[in-house]
């Protein structure tokens, strides 16, 4: 049987490639972004409790109503916005699904979508599977800022959407008020939608504030804002998240959602609906991960890697410029095989690979894990 591929240029995602290589070589996996420390036991107990209490059947198609109510209260407190839990929030099986559904809701063949590279690796396939055209714009190396003039130059009549991501994977860069104003200037008076990937909203450091699109009513009116519980509660394997969008947009989003997964697993929604009342759990995240970033950076001083700034997310980029002439991909493989430490080559986040000699390290790990990994790197460079 012949399948005409809908994604002819796509292979296996780099996260799976590097994680498999890490397993094969018994390497410490600082590649794929996931914590190796345990999640909160009270939350797992709540899931257990909801299962035992029989909360095991379908919940409402748009997500458990109490969870949506609490999410509306949460974003109201965090971002001073009024979100209707009945019409503007949908619980999804993860942030990636929310982004895919948002694209599928709005895109028609030949539409253009502006995105910033390095970009999370699902964006371009999500755009292309809908017959639309990805328009990548490189962030400015080495600070990975956005050159907004470049964005203005790439907007056409076919521009259907711009996708932003802050705090940013893989760079840890955080959007500023100036970025928000530039974005506002560009979309004002147009029909351009925004997809705002805010899965790392609470993983933000150095007293920076997360500028959620939910803070700006004039931008929110055209935006699908996507979140992930996996990042907030250290349970990436739960694959649970949500999308917030104005009613008119959400109505169409739900049409796509209802015939794809229809509804997400119920015990976890019941558990999170009660756990989310403990605000400290997410408000303390920034400090918790900043300490890990600093701990890791401090250890890494013993290696010849040079850090680039990271103000959020799970990730820290390191440059190895001047150390060797290997491509990022080659060096990431060599480090996995020979040093026993897996990372992600940043070139994997570009459509046409750009090789700045930079690797992405995930520091959302136990201190002991970070210590062993860095010791191995130190040994490797001896
Ligand atoms: N966007 C970005 C930038 C991410 O790093 C992730 C993490 N995988 C996601 C979206 C989606 O998260 P998930 O689907 O696991 O909830
Ligand atoms: N978000 C995580 C990362 O960037 C993992 C996502 C995935 O494996 N698809 O590494």
Q: Quick check: CB of 313 below 6 Å from ligand 2?
A: no
- Closest atom, ligand 2, to C-alpha of 344: 10
List the CATH number of the domain containing 200.
3.40.640.10
Residue 73 Cα to ligand 1 middle (Å): 23
- How does pLDDT run across 264-278, given as a tens digit for each residue? 999 999 999 999 999
- How does pLDDT run across 15-51, given as a tens digit for each residue? 999 999 999 999 999 999 999 999 999 999 999 999 9
Q: Quick check: CB of 125 below 6 Å from ligand 2?
A: no
Residue 4 lies in a domain: no
Number of domains in the chain: 2
State mean pLDDT over 330-357: 96
Q: Quick check: CB of 33 below 6 Å from ligand 2?
A: yes
Q: Quick check: CB of 199 below 6 Å from ligand 1?
A: yes
The verdict on 25 and 120 lying in the same domain is: no
Residue nearest to atom 8 of ligand 2 (CA): 15
| Separation of alpha carbons 76 and 168, rounded Å | 23
Query: What local confidence, expressed as pLDDT, does residue 351 receive?
Result: 93
Decide: 212 and 198 in contact? Cβ < 8 Å. Answer: yes
Instruction: Write out the residue range of the structural domain in which residue 359 sits.
Output: 14-39+283-381
The verdict on 222 and 78 lying in the same domain is: yes
Q: Quick check: CB of 169 below 6 Å from ligand 2?
A: yes
The verdict on 120 and 80 lying in the same domain is: yes
Residue 258 Cα to ligand 1 middle (Å): 21
The verdict on 129 and 29 lying in the same domain is: no
The verdict on 180 and 227 lying in the same domain is: yes
List the CATH number of the domain containing 302.
3.90.1150.10
The distance from CA 329 to its chain's CA centroid, rounded to whole angstroms, is 21
Domain boundary, last residue among 223, 251, 277: 277
Q: How many C-beta atoms lie closer than 10 Å to residue 293's C-beta? A: 24
- Burial (CB count within 10 angstroms: exposed 0-12, middle 13-18, buried 19+), residue 23: exposed
Provide the pLDDT confidence category of residue 281 given band limits of 50, 70 and 90: very high
State mean pLDDT over 170-182: 98
Residue 198 Cα to ligand 2 middle (Å): 14
- How does pLDDT run across 196-208, given as a tens digit for each residue? 999 999 999 999 9
Contacts for 358 with CB less than 8 Å, ≥ 6 apart: 308, 317, 318, 319, 320, 328, 346
Site to probe by mutation for ligand 1, drawn from 16, 122, 126, 169 as the one with most ligand atoms within 8 Å of Cβ, is 169
Residue 6 lies in a domain: no
| Separation of alpha carbons 208 and 362, rounded Å | 20
Query: What local confidence, expressed as pLDDT, does residue 70 receive?
Result: 98
**Pairing mode, if any, of strands 133-138 and 306-307?**
unpaired
Residue 2 lies in a domain: no
Residue nearest to atom 3 of ligand 2 (CA): 33
Decide: 240 and 94 in contact? Cβ < 8 Å. Answer: yes
Q: Quick check: CB of 345 below 6 Å from ligand 2?
A: no
Residue 304 Cα to ligand 1 middle (Å): 30
Residue 375 Cα to ligand 2 middle (Å): 25
The verdict on 264 and 324 lying in the same domain is: no
- pLDDT above 90: residue 104: yes
Site to probe by mutation for ligand 2, drawn from 15, 95, 126, 361 as the one with most ligand atoms within 8 Å of Cβ, is 15
- Closest atom, ligand 2, to C-alpha of 31: 10
State yes or no: cis peptide before 170, omega within 30 of 0: yes
State mean pLDDT over 225-229: 98
Query: What local confidence, expressed as pLDDT, does residue 193 receive?
Result: 98
Query: What local confidence, expressed as pLDDT, does residue 353 receive?
Result: 81
| pLDDT above 90 as % of the chain | 99
Domain boundary, last residue among 249, 277, 305: 277
The verdict on 90 and 73 lying in the same domain is: yes
Residue nearest to atom 5 of ligand 2 (CA): 33
Residue 374 lies in a domain: yes
């Amino acid at each position: 049987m012949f399948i005409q591929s809908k994604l002819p240029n796509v292979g296996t995602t780099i996260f799976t490639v590097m994680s498999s290589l890490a397993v094969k070589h018994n390497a410490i996996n600082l590649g794929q972004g996931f914590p190796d420390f345990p999640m909160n036991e009270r939350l797992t107990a709540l899931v257990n409790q909801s299962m035992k209490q029989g909360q095991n059947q379908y919940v409402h198609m748009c997500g458990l109503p109490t969870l949506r109510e609490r999410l509306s209260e949460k974003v109201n407190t965090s971002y001073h916005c009024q979100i209707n839990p009945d019409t503007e929030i949908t619980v999804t099986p993860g942030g990636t699904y929310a982004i895919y559904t948002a694209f599928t809701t709005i895109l028609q063949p030949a539409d253009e979508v502006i995105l910033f590279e390095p970009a999370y690796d699902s964006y371009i396939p999500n755009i292309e599977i809908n017959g639309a055209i990805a328009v990548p714009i490189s962030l400015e190396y080495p600070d990975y800022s956005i050159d907004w003039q470049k964005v203005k130059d790439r907007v056409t009549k076919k521009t259907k959407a711009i996708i932003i991501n802050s705090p940013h994977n893989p760079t840890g860069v955080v959007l500023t008020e100036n970025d928000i104003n530039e974005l506002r200037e560009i979309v004002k008076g147009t029909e351009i939608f925004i997809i705002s990937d805010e899965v790392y909203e609470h993983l933000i450091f150095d007293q920076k504030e997360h500028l959620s699109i939910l803070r700006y009513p004039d931008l929110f009116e055209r935006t699908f804002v996507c979140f992930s519980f996996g990042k907030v509660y250290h349970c990436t394997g739960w694959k649970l998240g949500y999308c917030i969008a104005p009613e008119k947009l959400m109505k169409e989003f739900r049409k796509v959602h209802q015939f794809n997964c229809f509804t997400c697993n119920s015990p976890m929604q019941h558990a999170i609906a009660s756990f989310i009342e403990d605000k400290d759990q997410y408000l303390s995240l920034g400090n918790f991960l900043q300490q890990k970033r600093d701990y890791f950076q401090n250890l890494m001083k013993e290696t010849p890697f040079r850090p680039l700034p990271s103000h959020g997310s799970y990730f820290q980029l390191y440059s190895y410029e001047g150390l060797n002439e290997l491509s990022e991909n080659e060096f990431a493989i060599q480090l996995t095989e020979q040093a026993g430490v897996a990372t992600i080559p940043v070139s994997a986040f570009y459509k046409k690979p750009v090789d700045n000699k930079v690797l992405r390290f995930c520091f959302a790990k136990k201190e002991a894990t970070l210590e062993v990994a860095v010791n191995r790197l130190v040994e490797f460079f001896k």
